[in-house]
Amino acid sequence: MNMEEVKIDKKISQFTKELLEWWKANKRDFPWRNTKNPYAVILAEFLLKKTTAQQAEKVYFQLLTKYSTTKKLARARIKDLVNMLKPLGMEYKRAELLKQFGEFIENNYGGKIPAKQDELLKIPGVGLYTANAVLSFVYNENVPTVDTNFIRIIQRVFGIKSSKKRAREDKEIWIFAQKLIPNNKSRDFNFAVLDFGALICTAKKPGCTVCPLADICEFNRSK
């Protein structure tokens, strides 16, 4: 290992430590974070796409109460789903995806959500982020949940730039993100990244003056 690699490893270690310590005192609480039910986690991820957590929370309980299993979801009427999902926007697309999800799990897995990444990725509407969300939040596997928050944070702190038009599709970003995951703490770490991106390292007007990572952040140093 050369000096540059040692330097990066040291920075990663500090980044992880500082972020988790910050999160202990600043974590947000949402109902889907208090379950290890993979079905409930996937439902939440469908609801959270292109909307706020606060908006999704209002619909989450209604959806999970009325459609508590994939069998019930598979038998749902699109019209009923659309009405329930209307507050979130894209209600027709969400309704179709949810029903397809329910049908797929019933037809292919007998109502049981698979626990392997390659199988999760076969589910309609499930990409690498959602698949890893299940693996991390339910099974605490050492995988990253790379979204716009995650990408923004590592770009700023580590000065990493993606060559892809859509950074979330950049394999190099995912490979680097994987290096950040502390062993057996992926669940806490991925939640910490989400909360840090929402509360401190925001897209606009980031809170650099109160940021615990300011001393190691390339973005902060360059200002």
pLDDT tens digit sequence for 32-41: 999 999 999 9
pLDDT at 2 (0 to 100): 66
Type of residue at 49: K
pLDDT tens digit sequence for 76-99: 999 999 999 999 999 999 999 999
The domains located in the chain, with CATH, are: 3-29+142-221 (1.10.1670.10), 37-137 (1.10.340.30)
Over pLDDT 70: what percentage of the chain? 97
Determine the length of the chain: 223
pLDDT tens digit sequence for 172-193: 999 999 999 999 999 999 999 9
* C-alpha 215, offset from chain centre: 26
pLDDT tens digit sequence for 96-152: 999 999 999 999 999 999 999 999 999 999 999 999 999 999 999 999 999 999 999
pLDDT at 7 (0 to 100): 81
User: Residue 25: pLDDT above 70?
Assistant: yes
pTM given for the model: 0.93
pLDDT at 18 (0 to 100): 97
Look up tokens 């109460």; give the residue: 65
User: Is 38:46 a contact under the CB 8 Å cutoff?
Assistant: no
13 CB-side CA count, 13 A: 6
The angle at the Cα of 126, spanning 111 to 43, to the nearest 5 degrees, equals 60
* C-alpha 12, offset from chain centre: 20
Token readout for 120 is 């999760």
Q: How far apart are CA 15 and CA 193, in angstroms?
A: 11
Query: What rounded mean pLDDT belongs to the chain?
Result: 94
Alpha helices in the chain (DSSP H): 3-26, 38-48, 53-66, 70-74, 78-85, 91-109, 117-120, 128-137, 148-158, 171-180, 186-199, 218-221
Q: How far apart are CA 192 and CA 175, in angstroms?
A: 19
